[in-house]
Amino acid sequence: MEKDSNSKGSPRVFDLRPGMGLRIVDFRPRETVDGTFESANPMLRFYFHIAASGYWELRSPYSNTPESKVPHTDRFSMVFFYPELEGTMHWPADRRQFHVSIQIAPSLLNSYLGAGIHDFPKNLRDISEGCSNKGFTHAGPVSQIMNMAIGQLLDCPYTGSMERLYIESKAIELITHKLAQIQSLDVPTSARLKLRPDEVERIRRAGEILSRDLEDPPKLLDLAHSVGTNHSALNKGFREIYGATVFGYLRQMRLQEAKRLLEEKGMNVTETALTVGYGSIPSFSRAFSDFFGRSPATCLKKKQ
């Protein structure tokens, strides 16, 4: 594990397979960091920032703009590819920098997606098919489903070879969620994704409504009506954007919130189950164990 003399914390690096690696960085610079960097790395890089501040200024002959300033903010995600890249970075002192980054060879991404790569922007398609003189970048928020996958990755229940296998599965899941975001925002008319911008907005608004009231959420028909659509279109939209039905999305939100209440607030299992909308404690415990691979009582003991 690498050390940085100018910061508190150290990165964890995982070589998952040829052409794929993952890095978890969580540190606080003791002093403001202003530096420069150069890279000739022919890899697609996915960044998921949980906590961040500062910025990068990126320059590449393969960019559409001479210089691009990328501010670092909480819950910020980005994917980019530049055959040649240089720039500067600025990280303020004593501000947490916490992110997960994944590097994947374009050819490996192409093998995962197969013919599905044609649903993505042209530059990304060309890069995955071996073109080395084009650039690509896409920035967006860390969605709730990305956040859940990051939480599961950081809370890996395994060690040894099983840890590597589990982390690789979560890396692929995060790449999938980011690519789905690129599809929904950049290619709304693709053959696979047929949602119009106003439909995307309705789905996101429905997701926010569910997240605000996990204990007593609206019924499916009422939720659909409140955002101006029908229950069939709502479920289809949730599958496109969040990779789950409305019920599946609600279940994920409930369990993620339950884990937070147990670990951060020290709330007991019964109170936690009721707070997130479970009327049966055995049903809650089974759902929690299936989702996280360990019982809710284990999370509570960890807090204590």
Summarised one tens digit per residue, pLDDT across range 250-294 is: 888 888 888 888 888 889 999 999 999 999 999 999 888 877 777
pLDDT value at residue 115: 81
Match 């360990």 to its residue by tokens: 294
Work out the end-to-end distance of the chain between its first and last CA atoms, rounded to an integer number of angstroms: 28
Q: Which of 253, 251, 256, 254 is nearest to 299 (CA)?
A: 256
152: pLDDT strictly greater than 80: yes
DSSP string, 171-237: HHHHHHHHHHHHHHHH-TTSSS----HHHHHHHHHHHHHHHH-SSSPPPHHHHHHHTTS-HHHHHHH
Model confidence at 184, in pLDDT bands (50, 70, 90)?
A: low
Question: What is the spatial distance between Cα 179 and Cα 243, in angstroms, rounded to a whole number?
Answer: 12
187: pLDDT strictly greater than 80: no
18: pLDDT strictly greater than 60: yes
Q: Give percent of the chain with pLDDT exceeding 90.
A: 36
Q: What's at 3, amino acid-wise?
A: K
As to burial, measured by CB atoms within 10 angstroms (0-12 exposed, 13-18 middle, 19+ buried), residue 237 is buried
Q: Which of 175, 196, 172 is nearest to 185 (CA)?
A: 196
pLDDT value at residue 194: 61
303: pLDDT strictly greater than 50: yes
pLDDT value at residue 127: 94
233: pLDDT strictly greater than 60: yes
Helices of type H across the chain: 106-113, 122-128, 144-154, 160-186, 197-212, 220-226, 231-242, 246-260, 269-275, 281-292, 296-303
Please give the backbone phi and psi of residue 273, each rounded to the nearest 5 degrees, phi first.
-60, -45
Domains and CATH numbers, the chain: 7-186 (2.60.120.10), 197-303 (1.10.10.60)
Model confidence at 65, in pLDDT bands (50, 70, 90)?
A: low
Q: Give percent of the chain with pLDDT exceeding 70.
A: 89
pLDDT tens sequence across 203-225:
888 988 888 888 889 999 999 99
Model confidence at 229, in pLDDT bands (50, 70, 90)?
A: very high
Dihedral sign of CA atoms 104, 105, 110, 116 in order: positive
- Six-digit token pair at 203? 């789905």
Name the residue with higher pLDDT: 243 or 276. Answer: 276
189: pLDDT strictly greater than 50: no
Question: What is the spatial distance between Cα 185 and Cα 154, in angstroms, rounded to a whole number?
Answer: 27
Whole-prediction pTM = 0.63
Helix (H) or strand (E) holding 105: none
pLDDT value at residue 301: 66
pLDDT value at residue 227: 92
Model confidence at 14, in pLDDT bands (50, 70, 90)?
A: very high
Let me know how long the chain is: 304
- Six-digit token pair at 175? 């790449």
The predicted model gives 50-73 an average pLDDT of 80
